[in-house]
Each structure stands twice: as C-alpha cells, then as structure tokens.
Amino acid sequence: MRIFPILAAIAVSALMYLAIFERPMLYDMAGVATEVTPTAAEPAPAVESQVADPGLVKVVVQRSVARPLDSVVIVRGQTAAAREVAVQAETSAVVASPPLRKGATVSAGDTLCALDAGTRGAAQKEAEARRAEAESRVPEAESRVVEAEARLEEASIKFNAASKLGEGGFSSQTQIATAQAAVAAARAGLSSAEAGLNAARSGIEAAEAAVAGTQAELDRLTLKAPFAGMLESDTAELGSLLQPGSLCARVIQLDPIKLVGFVPETEVDRVTLGAQARARLAAGDRQIGGEVTFISRASDPSTRTFRIEIDVPNPDLTIRDGQTAEIAIASAGVDAHLLPQSALTLNDDGTLGVRLIDDANLVSFSPVQIVRDTPQGIWTTGLPTNANVIVLGQEYVTAGVTVDPTYRETTQ
C-alpha cells in the first residue's frame, strides 16, 4: 500500500482547512491585524467618489494657441529658358562657314552661319553707280530751274512795261500780247525745269533704295546670335543650301532661368509681383530661389489657372530647361493652429471643421481652412486665438452636448 500519497493528501486538506476556516487564528499567531468587518450598527465610513457622471461622453481635448505662420502658395511647375529663338535664313544661299556644335556658348552678335554672297556684291556696285549717276543729274536740273526762273522774270518785266506803255497809247496791242505770250512760255519752261529737278531727285531716292536693298541682302548672308546663350543644335553644315525659313541654329538663354507654374484661381490673389519664391527640383532634390516677375491676367480656358513666372539666377548653367519643380511662393502671414489631422471632422452640412468645448465643457463646431499640411500636423485658420479642440472622441458628440474632457499637453 502506498502510504506517501495518502499522507500528502491529508496534509493538503489540513492546510486548506486552516487557510479557509481558521484564518483569524493564523493572523493572530503571525501577529497581523485583521480587517474589522463593519456591522449594521457600525456602517462603513463614506469615501468621496472620484468617478464622473457615467452619462457623459469622455473626450480628449488639446489646448491650442494660434501662432504666426508664414503662408505660402504651393505650385507645381517646371523650369524654362529665359529666351529661346530659332535663327532662320531670310534668303537663299549656300552656307560658307564651318558649323558650330551644340552646347557651345555664344555671345550676342557672334556669327552662326555665313552664307555665300554670289552675285550680290556686283548688284550692290551697280546700284551704287546708278545712285552716283542720279546725283550727277541734280546740279544740271537745278541750273535749268534757275535759268527758267530768270527767263520768267525777264518776260514778266517786259510784259509790265508793255502794259504801261499801252495805257498811254505808246504800245500796240500786238506788243502787249507778244509780251504776255513770252511770260506764259517762261512759266512753262520753269515748270518743265522743276519737273526735271524732281525727276533727278526721285532718281537719287530710287538709287539709294536700290543700294539699301542690296546692302540688306548682303546683311542677310550673316546670321548672328541675337543674344548671349547656348546652342541647342548644331549650326547649318558647310555647303548646305538654305532657303528662306531654313534653320541655321537654335539658341537658348539659361541665365537667368525661369520657373513657370500655374496657380488656381482660388490662390492667385495671394501671389504678388516681387514675392520671394523657393523651389525644389525633382532631380537631385536641389533647392533654388528667386522672385515672381509675371502674373497672367488671363486664365487658361481649359484649366482656369493663371500662369506665373519666377526669375532664378543660373550663372553656372546647371539648371536645365524643362526640369520639374515644386514651387513655394511666399504670401502674407497668418495666425494658425497646428492640430493633428485626426481632429478634423464634418458637420451635418458637410462642412470641414473641428469640435471645441468651452469652460462649461459644452461642445460647439467651428469651420476651419487648411493652410498647410506638414508631418507634424495640419495648420488651420478660422479658430479663435485660444481654442480647446477635441482631438479624440469628436465623432461621438454633437454641438450643444456636455462632455467629460481629459486634457493633454500640446506639442506646438
């Protein structure tokens, strides 16, 4: 017979009996005071309750104070060359100069394409000779005019004398008529001489126009850079034939470079000329800055956005044309609250806002406007300077009810 299991069972039973039924005796033996159980004659002392009204909804509230915030308008855009032009031929000729390669830097007035003159030089000399010939005719025509004026004056004197003698009966009517005819002939000669002088002068003007035309044609043979910049394409190859409108080269100016963006109509009034702007280029996460130089007065008909341009210094030409950029344009600062995004809610009308409580823990709704979204939270306007914002539990209460708030420290 196994005696040890039986003895163990008896020992455990005895210990359980003492622990349950003889606990006061054990406490007395150990010297531990026992808890006095109150009787009906001696009721237990009342303890002040720290539990709030169980009918109130518990919420978490953040005490928020408005702080000055530099307001910005965020726009996505791209870089663009300050100037870009396609230098094209204005006449037909063969290229007589070696080509310049793309990427080369040029200054204003540098020759890009020199065209063969052909017979244009001879045409200019011929025009100059005709001008000299026309100029030589002018003195002769002027002398004829002087001679005709003298004849007219002589004929007029004779006619006046004959008229006075005829009044005294000393001259016949035939003599008077002859003198009058001489005056008419002299006037006709003067008109003819003046016409010859005008023709000579017109010949000079025509010759000068021909000279100017041939000179302009010669000037068209040299295609020059209109401004300092960089070649975006090779210039025309030596020996190639250019027609009017044919491309010689494409020149772009990258210093300064422009940032081009399109601002929504709801934000365009916040952008002003001369406002400072910062941009982050998508390539390399580079930061650049400049100032607003242009704001369009007409919106894009399809997007209802307004074009803006920002000039950015680019002396080393490291910013390229067409790079994507995120642009932040400075505008007037505002007082705003930094709140957790979870604090936002909608009222029954679908208006975005937050729920507040007053000193009596009464809930109210206040619409807000989001100014900026950051990793730390959202900056909003539309609230009073000091606001108790419900940041947890706002979805379970409505305006006009009383809540049980628990305040938490703000991290602003």
**Domain residue limits, the chain:** 1-35, 58-68+334-408, 120-219, 252-330
Which pLDDT belongs to residue 33? Answer: 46
Pairing of strands 386-392, 111-114: unpaired
Which pLDDT belongs to residue 411? Answer: 53
Query: In which band, very low, low, confident or very high, does the pLDDT at 387 lie, cut at 50, 70 and 90?
Result: very high
- What pLDDT digit, counting tens, does each position of 213-259 carry? 888 889 999 999 999 999 999 999 999 999 999 999 999 999 999 99
CATH code for the domain defined by 120-219: 1.10.287.620
Which pLDDT belongs to residue 333? Answer: 73
Element (H, E) at 136: helix 120-167
3-class secondary-structure state, position 34? coil
What is the C-alpha separation between 51 and 54, in angstroms, rounded?
8
**Structural tokens at position 273:** 């000329």
- What pLDDT digit, counting tens, does each position of 279-297 carry? 999 877 788 999 999 999 9
What does 321-382 look like in DSSP terms, one character per residue?
TT-EEEEEEE---EEEEEE-GGG-EE-TT--EEEEEE-TT-BEEEEE-EEEEEETTEEEEES
What is the C-alpha separation between 292 and 73, in angstroms, rounded?
12
- What pLDDT digit, counting tens, does each position of 182-210 carry? 878 888 888 888 888 888 888 888 888 88
CATH topology of domain 252-330: Elongation Factor Tu (Ef-tu); domain 3 (2.40.30)
Q: Do domains 120-219 and 252-330 have the same CATH topology?
A: no
- Among all chains, which residue has been given the structure tokens 């001369």? 274
Element (H, E) at 194: helix 173-219
What does 11-22 look like in DSSP terms, one character per residue?
HHHHHHHHHHHS
E strand map for 208-304: 222-224, 229-231, 241-242, 247-264, 276-281, 287-295
Among 192, 206, 61, smallest CA distance to 134 is for 206
**Structural tokens at position 16:** 């359980």
Which pLDDT belongs to residue 85? Answer: 94
Class of 58-68+334-408 in CATH: mainly beta
